[in-house]
Amino acid sequence: MNGGETVIEVKDLTKVYPAAARLFGDGGREKLAVDRVSFDVHRGEIFGLLGPNGAGKTTTIKMLSTLLIPTSGSATVLGLDVVSGSVKLRPRINLVSGGERGLYFRLTGRQNLEFFSDMYRVPREAKKKKIGDLLELVGLTEAADIRVEEYSRGMKQRLHLARGLVNDPEVLFLDEPTLGLDPEISRETRALIRRLSEKGMTILLTTHYMFEADELCDRLAIISDGRIRAMGSPYSMKESVRNDSIIEIEARELGEAQKKELADLPGVSAVSVEFLEGRQLARIVVDDAPALIPTVAALLENRKVISIRVDQPTLEDAYIKMVNAK
C-alpha cells in the first residue's frame, strides 16, 4: 500500500502437526496444516488471511506470534526471527484470539487489564493512565469495575482487544476478531481495528468473512488447505473475476453429483452450491454465460430447475473461484 518498510516477512512457512495418537479420529496421521506460505506485510498495513475453516489461518498466526514452532521455512517480525528472536520479539507484539478464553471472569475489566499489564511489566506510574485510556478506547469505561462474567459477548471481545494493547504492540495479530459477534458489535470492532491502523499499528488478521476482508484489509491472501491461492488488494481480487459472469440456478434436486458435473464443464471455473431447505442455489463462475446456458440447462434437465439467470460476479465469487481453483 505505502511501499513502506517490511515488518513481517514470511518465506515458505510450513507446519506439519505430528501424528496424534488417534485423537483426531484419522488413524493418527500427521497433518500438513500450513504448506510453504510466503508473504510480506508493510508497516501500518492491515493484512488479512482469508480462508474457510481448517485453512491454516490460526496455525499461521500462531507461528508468527511465536506460540508455535514452524516445521520448516522462516518468518521474521520486526526483523526478528520468530524462533531464535522470540524472547526479544514478544514484548513488541500481541495476539488477540476471538472467543471466551484468555480473560479472568471473576475479575473486573480493569483488574484484567492490570493483571496483563503486570505480565508485560508496564511501569506502575504509567499503568493507571494506560488502562484508563484503553478502557476509553474500547468503550468500557463505565463497565470497568464490573466483573467480566457479567459482560456481554461484545464487551468481552472489546476487553480482549484492550488486553492485546497493554504493551503498545508495534504489530498486532488478530485471529478472527469478529467471530460469533452480532452485526453491530462486529461493525464497532472493525471500526476500532481501523482506528488502531490509522495510528500506525501494523495489523495481521484472519477472517473467514469475505466482506470483512474487503472492508478492512489493504491487502489480503486467500488461503485454503494450507496454501495461498491468491494475494492482492480487495480491488485486484475483484478484477480477477471482472471478465467472468455468473449463472445462478435455483433447483429442487441438485446434489453433489451435479455440482461436480457442472464444475467439470469446459468454460466453468468454479461452482458453489448453497443447500437450503428443499431447494438449492448454485452459482457457476463462467467465461461466457450465454454460450453455456444451453449446456447447463441440458445437464440439469431432471433436477426440477426453478430458475436460471445471469448475474454479475461479486467478491464472494472471486473468493470461491480462488479457493476452488482446479
Ligand X SMILES: Nc1ncnc2c1ncn2[C@@H]1O[C@H](COP(=O)(O)OP(=O)(O)O)[C@@H](O)[C@H]1O
Give contact residues for ligand X (rule: CB under 6 A).
Answer: 17, 20, 24, 31, 33, 51, 53-59
Using CB atoms within 10 A of its CB, is residue 195 exposed (0-12), middle (13-18) or buried (19+)?
A: exposed
Nearer to Mg ion, 207 or 272 (CB): 207
Question: Across-strand partners of 249?
Answer: 282, 308
Q: Using an 8 Å Cβ cutoff, are 207 and 178 in contact? A: yes
State the minimum distance, in angstroms, from the CB of residue 98 to Mg ion.
9
Residue 17 touches which of ligand X, Mg ion, none (CB < 5 to 8 A by kind)? ligand X
Strand pairing class (219-224; 72-77): unpaired
State the minimum distance, in angstroms, from the CB of residue 207 to Mg ion.
10
Nearer to ligand X, 216 or 247 (CB): 216
Residue 120 touches which of ligand X, Mg ion, none (CB < 5 to 8 A by kind)? none
Residue 53 touches which of ligand X, Mg ion, none (CB < 5 to 8 A by kind)? ligand X
Q: Using an 8 Å Cβ cutoff, are 114 and 169 in contact? A: no
For residue 198, give the C-alpha cell: 490509522
Residue 51 touches which of ligand X, Mg ion, none (CB < 5 to 8 A by kind)? ligand X
Nearer to ligand X, 24 or 105 (CB): 24
Nearer to ligand X, 29 or 304 (CB): 29
State the minimum distance, in angstroms, from the CB of residue 61 to ligand X.
8
Residue selected from 33, 44, 51, 58 as contacting Mg ion according to rule CB under 5 A:
58
Residue 98 touches which of ligand X, Mg ion, none (CB < 5 to 8 A by kind)? none
Nearer to ligand X, 16 or 281 (CB): 16
Nearer to ligand X, 204 or 282 (CB): 204
- HSE (side-chain half, CA atoms, 13 Å) at 5: 12
Q: Using an 8 Å Cβ cutoff, are 172 and 92 in contact? A: no
Q: Closest by alpha carbon to 73, among 6, 15, 8, 7?
A: 15
Cα–Cα distance between 247 and 305 in angstroms, integer?
13
- Taking the CA atoms of residue 299, residue 303, residue 306 and residue 312 in that order, the dihedral angle to the nearest 10 degrees is -40
Q: Closest by alpha carbon to 38, among 219, 210, 304, 228?
A: 228
Cα–Cα distance between 47 and 88 in angstroms, integer?
23
| Number of residues this chain uses to bind Mg ion (CB under 5 A) | 2
Q: Closest by alpha carbon to 225, among 93, 39, 52?
A: 52
Nearer to Mg ion, 58 or 245 (CB): 58
Nearer to Mg ion, 58 or 224 (CB): 58
State the minimum distance, in angstroms, from the CB of residue 231 to ligand X.
16
Print the binding letters for residues 251-290 with Mg ion: x by CB under 5 A, - otherwise.
----------------------------------------
Q: Which residue has the cell 504492540?
A: 169
Stretch that binds Mg ion, among 50-58, 66-74, 217-225, 270-278 (CB under 5 A): 50-58
State the minimum distance, in angstroms, from the CB of residue 104 to ligand X.
25
Stretch that binds Mg ion, among 36-44, 55-63, 197-205, 270-278 (CB under 5 A): 55-63
Type of residue numbered 193? I
Cα–Cα distance between 313 and 278 in angstroms, integer?
25
Distance of CA 258 to the CA centre of its chain: 30
Binding site residues, Mg ion, CB under 5 A: 57-58
